[in-house]
Structure 1
Amino acid sequence: MTARHWISGASMFALAAMAVPALAQSSQPRQRLDVVPYLGIDQVVMAPLKGDGDVLTYTNVTAGVTAQIQSRRVEATIDAQYNHSFGWGSQTPDQDVISGIVSAQAHVARGLTLNAGGLATRVRTDGLSGATALNDSSYTSQVYAGYVGPSYTTQIGDFTVNGSYRLGYARVEDDIDADLPGALPGGSFADSWTHSLLGSVGFAPGTVLPVGLTASAGYDREDASQLDQRFEDAWGRLDATLPVSRTVALVGGIGYEDIEISQRSPVLDATGAPVIRDGRYVTDKSSPRALVYEFDDIIWDVGVLWRPSHRTSLQARVGERYGGMTYQGSFLWQGRDSNFALVVFDGIDSFGRMIMADVAALSGSNLNVVRNPFTGDLTGCAFSATGGGQCFNDALSGITDANFRYRGVSAQYALRRGPWGWGLGAGYSQRKFITPQGQTVLIRGSRDENWFGNASMTYMFNDRDSIDTVAYINYFDASGGRPDVLNYGAFTSYFKGLSRRLSASASVGIDGVKADDIDTVISAMGQVGLRYSF
């Protein structure tokens, strides 16, 4: 679940997580080091239950590593895998897939933490936005995103000082054909670098004054290769917190913000049409930089903060930004072995900044990363009962190079109790595109909408044997002449330990896709495999 809070482009879940500590973690974490490299092989068959298609068979060979690291200074989760699929026949071409999640925090000195994270996964580029990237589709993209940066916090008398910097990089590798129906010729994201700098100083209510005050400032920048696009956002503001009871406080802030989005022109051919190569515009480096969007004004918001305990926090705000009213809020509850988070968000975003905020919101050494057993891909969410989980469905649906006004709501729940593990994620978002006047791919002001839901269940029979069940649904309502797409499915996997290092697995599943003017395709899938852990 991705969101923007009312101060900067950072994830609101990260803000909420700071407001309510994860009580399941003690101040002196238990030492843990669990690193498991592995090799695996499995056989997959896919058969159409509805719609045209052939029975597809392929063999997956995988190499990967999982790691859980927790100590006084380091906390990290790693789940990375390389998968090569050998297709049986011309309808199942060989494929290589790299997928995984990395989240790490290293406490290098008092108050100073080095944060890093990464994501690799696969999405469809055949116009079926938001659908599962099954191996019967040759039109897939490989997505990479990663960041690194320090954060610092200290107390100087009654004043709390915070600062952070994040350097991020996102990349999409694909084979987009400009004539492919449903694709975005000239409008595909290639790669971008992002910078995010944030600092604040303030004091709590009842220390210096009855009201708490915090002065903060930030700068965000993204440089995208497509048409040399640039996003810059500089802001500063003063926030106040006034307690009105033991659990309720009034909050509000006022500041100033300057946003600019600019890009260069594409190279034109002899007929005056933009030149497109590999599905992307060719940038005219000599063209002047044109301003696509500008916001330069005072920003403000007011609201209420309810914190009945150190486990629970609710914040709701209404204000003015981007030339209109904004409504935002968050609710977070952290239990001993479960947590729930709900966010209402509104901001200016892009795929590069959106996926980077998702990756940065991951934290903790107890992430449950569930994979699709038939493809090796991530299933959309990483759940954690101690907080720090995240869903990527929304960011990976309808990837474009455009900036957009991003509004919506998202929620996530995770529970780990005894042998049981549960995870639920759901959300809705709307993207209103900010593009140059006259663009024909994504018209300025056009909207995409996306609804998604993920659910997972894990049961551990013992240390070696377990069962996983995952269900998912995604509906993408597209603009720009692209098809609306409904994708749904579920699968169950059983894992059996044969020895201390060797395990077997068996999975069954179903996947359905329905798009405009395209017959519904429902596929049944089966898998058996072996894994050897070192």
Structure 2
Amino acid sequence: MSVRHWISGTSFIALATMTMPALAQSSRQDQRLNVVPYLGIDQVVMAPLKGDGDVLTYTNVTAGVTAEVRNRRVEATIDAQYNHSFGWGSQATDQDVISGILSTRVNVARGLSLNAGGLATRVRTDGLSGATALNDSFTSQVYAGYVGPSYTTQLGDFTVNGSYRLGYARVEDDVNSDIPGALPSGSFADSWSHNLLGSVGFAPGTVLPAGLTASAGYDREDASQLDQRFEDGWGRLDATLPVSRTVALLGGIGYENIEISQRSPVLDTTGVPVVRNGRYVTDKSSPRALVYEFDDIIWDVGVLWRPSHRTSLQARVGERYGGMTYQGSFLWQGRDSNFSLVVFDGIDSFGRMIMGDVAALSGSNLNVVRNPFTGDLTGCAFSATGGGQCFNDALSGITGNNFRYRGVSAQYALQRGPWGWGLGAGYSQRKFITPQGQAVFIRGSRDENWFGNASANYRFSDSDSLDTVVYVNYFDASDARPDILNYGAFTSYFKGLSRRLSASASVGIDGAKADDLDTVISAMGQVGLRYSF
């Protein structure tokens, strides 16, 4: 979970001190350019161990590229892949999967940088929220990307920061609402978002014993579903007062105005909203209705503990959104590992949430774990130097509505010798914001999601390795939608046959259980070849 989620639009004075340094800052000066395009072919078989189903066979053809660029001006990581599955028989349908991540930072001038990032992956669209998209015809492509500059400079004792981010998110599918358990009508289609932040302040002990920072920000998202619009403008003053060498008291007060509005759907002759491809048809002539409004003072107090430059603990309690809020984080950066835990509380949407996850990706040596049977991302990208991210929560229960978003998320990564480890886990609650004084077009009131991902990698040599991944996701849906438990594991062995040719073999198991439906457990096997240019 990114720090952005628990900050939820508010710039705290301790933000800069919370960000852990990379494992070796001097390593950023090292010159590195590693670009590897590749082509691959593999054979996959899937057989039911429990539940109805046929033995399915696929031939997958892939084309992709992995790249890492790092020098004094550019730091970039790319892992992108296109996969086409040729199904054998009428039950195994052909499929296309585009997946990958991009994280780029370009230092344009002193203090000025241009940042960009992106994500592509696949999710379920048959109502089995959180379940794997393994060889299933009811799937959607998800895309998210952003670009924008950031600037920081020192004017005497004052630090000045500013940033802007333009983002776009899209779920590309044709949802069949007649499918039992299909996504609720009004699912997310696409949205544009803008994020603008600025701050100026001084550190403790420079101008005053306490440090002060004045900050302001503006967020806007325009979604195509019912022409929804989210606007959040805020400003605040934060103070940091050291009380010992490692402990400081925190406090902040400000003002915030949030408005969420939308238009009405087109109604048929019986007064029922018209749905096309699983989404409401927007009545462009209808007036814009206010769905949610918050206009009030915000405040919080807390404590910051920083015993070393590698460790930071922060906890805050305050009032926002008309009630109490609780937020916090613990961040630790070791020499070859890192750990983060974040408690978050804010108002979010799928578009803004997935954009925050993509923007949280940074650093080098990102380990992007893929499902060897489909090419899908398994949910997390790990990095022992920090900057990894899990996408499981954002991709579970995709909805076109805004919601109060609260929960906790943790991530751990280690790279030591030939071993690499990654662990991500979390819990979240989405309480949907329901329009007042008008017909309600939101299905469900509150969803909950638990997820966990673990990966282990062992390198026998530069060309031979063994990967193991275990995953679990439980999605607790409201409004009579099915609760979904998905779990599985797979192991892959990679063997270099020559300088450019390698072979792989994988075995795995995947299970899914929905309310009132029998458990389905499948065994999978894969063998393949890859040629790298």
Q: TM-score, normalised by structure 1?
A: 0.97
Identity of aligned residues (%): 88
SS at match of 1:499: coil
Matched, 1:485 2:501: no
Aligned to 2:124: 124
- How far apart, in 2, do the equivalents of 1:356 and 1:17 lie? 23
Aligned to 2:443: 442
- How far apart, in 2, do the equivalents of 1:19 and 1:450 lie? 27
- How far apart, in 2, do the equivalents of 1:200 and 1:364 lie? 24
Root-mean-square deviation over aligned CA pairs = 1.5
Aligned to 2:171: 172
Contact between 1:415 and 1:422, CA under 8 Å: does it hold in 2? yes
- How far apart, in 1, do the equivalents of 2:431 and 2:156 lie? 45
- How far apart, in 2, do the equivalents of 1:214 and 1:101 lie? 34
Aligned to 2:54: 54
SS at match of 2:25: coil
1:335-346 matched pairs, under 5 angstroms = 335-346=334-345
Contact between 2:58 and 2:86, CA under 8 Å: does it hold in 1? yes
Q: CA deviation at 1:108?
A: 0.7
1:203-229 per-position Cα deviation (integer Å, ceiling 9, x unaligned): 000000000000000000000000000
1:30-79 per-position Cα deviation (integer Å, ceiling 9, x unaligned): 11000000000000000000000000000000000000111111111100
Q: CA deviation at 1:187?
A: 1.9
Matched, 1:30 2:15: no
1:432-478 per-position Cα deviation (integer Å, ceiling 9, x unaligned): 001324425424xx110000000000111011000100000000000
SS at match of 1:395: helix
Aligned to 1:519: 518
SS at match of 1:72: coil
1:87-112 per-position Cα deviation (integer Å, ceiling 9, x unaligned): 00111110111000000101110001
- How far apart, in 1, do the equivalents of 2:16 and 2:494 lie? 36
Contact between 1:435 and 1:442, CA under 8 Å: does it hold in 2? no
Q: CA deviation at 1:183?
A: 2.0
Q: CA deviation at 1:384?
A: 0.4
SS at match of 1:268: coil
Q: CA deviation at 1:480?
A: 2.0
Matched, 1:462 2:450: no
Change (3 A) 1:400 1:10: farther
Q: CA deviation at 1:522?
A: 0.3
1:374-393 per-position Cα deviation (integer Å, ceiling 9, x unaligned): 00000100000000000000
Aligned to 1:427: 426
Contact between 1:3 and 1:344, CA under 8 Å: does it hold in 2? no
Contact between 2:28 and 2:70, CA under 8 Å: does it hold in 1? no
Change (3 A) 1:7 1:96: closer
SS at match of 1:394: helix
Change (3 A) 1:46 1:472: same
Contact between 2:18 and 2:312, CA under 8 Å: does it hold in 1? no
- How far apart, in 2, do the equivalents of 1:17 and 1:145 lie? 29
Q: CA deviation at 1:269?
A: 1.0
Aligned to 1:41: 41
Structure 2 gaps of 5+ residues are: none
- How far apart, in 2, do the equivalents of 1:208 and 1:192 lie? 43
Change (3 A) 1:154 1:11: closer
Change (3 A) 1:81 1:102: same
- How far apart, in 1, do the equivalents of 2:77 and 2:137 lie? 31
Aligned to 2:162: 163
Worse-superposed segment, 3-12 or 149-158: 3-12
SS at match of 2:392: coil
Change (3 A) 1:368 1:7: closer
Aligned to 2:310: 311
Aligned to 2:86: 86
Change (3 A) 1:82 1:511: same
Aligned to 1:276: 275
Query: Partner amino acid for 1:101?
Result: I
Aligned to 2:352: 353
Aligned to 1:396: 395
Contact between 1:3 and 1:346, CA under 8 Å: does it hold in 2? no
Change (3 A) 1:5 1:271: closer
Contact between 1:11 and 1:357, CA under 8 Å: does it hold in 2? no
Query: Partner amino acid for 1:395?
Result: A
Q: CA deviation at 1:138?
A: 1.1
Aligned to 2:244: 245
Aligned to 1:69: 69
Aligned to 1:152: 151
- How far apart, in 2, do the equivalents of 1:27 and 1:412 lie? 23
Query: Partner amino acid for 2:339?
Result: F
1:259-309 per-position Cα deviation (integer Å, ceiling 9, x unaligned): 000000001111111111111000000100000000000000000000000
SS at match of 2:488: strand
Query: Partner amino acid for 1:153?
Result: T
1:500-519 matched pairs, under 5 angstroms = 500-519=499-518
Aligned to 1:235: 234
Q: CA deviation at 1:113?
A: 0.8
Structure 1 gaps of 5+ residues are: none
Aligned to 1:495: 494
Contact between 1:441 and 1:480, CA under 8 Å: does it hold in 2? no
1:137-172 per-position Cα deviation (integer Å, ceiling 9, x unaligned): 210010000000000000000000000000000000
SS at match of 1:363: coil
Change (3 A) 1:102 1:5: closer
Q: CA deviation at 1:11?
A: 11
Q: CA deviation at 1:6?
A: 6.0
Contact between 2:310 and 2:332, CA under 8 Å: does it hold in 1? yes
Q: CA deviation at 1:28?
A: 4.9
Query: Partner amino acid for 1:204?
Result: A
Contact between 1:42 and 1:59, CA under 8 Å: does it hold in 2? yes
Aligned to 2:208: 209
- How far apart, in 1, do the equivalents of 2:376 and 2:292 lie? 36
Q: TM-score, normalised by structure 2?
A: 0.97
- How far apart, in 1, do the equivalents of 2:361 and 2:322 lie? 32
1:487-517 per-position Cα deviation (integer Å, ceiling 9, x unaligned): 0000000000000000000000000000000
Q: CA deviation at 1:366?
A: 1.2
Count of residues paired in the alignment: 530
- How far apart, in 1, do the equivalents of 2:27 and 2:485 lie? 45
Query: Partner amino acid for 1:410?
Result: S
Q: CA deviation at 1:17?
A: 8.2
SS at match of 1:258: strand
Q: CA deviation at 1:16?
A: 7.3
Query: Partner amino acid for 1:277?
Result: R
- How far apart, in 2, do the equivalents of 1:326 and 1:262 lie? 24
Aligned to 2:321: 322
Contact between 2:18 and 2:331, CA under 8 Å: does it hold in 1? no
Contact between 1:369 and 1:378, CA under 8 Å: does it hold in 2? yes
Change (3 A) 1:454 1:7: closer
- How far apart, in 2, do the equivalents of 1:11 and 1:492 lie? 42
- How far apart, in 1, do the equivalents of 2:311 and 2:402 lie? 34
- How far apart, in 1, do the equivalents of 2:338 and 2:395 lie? 24
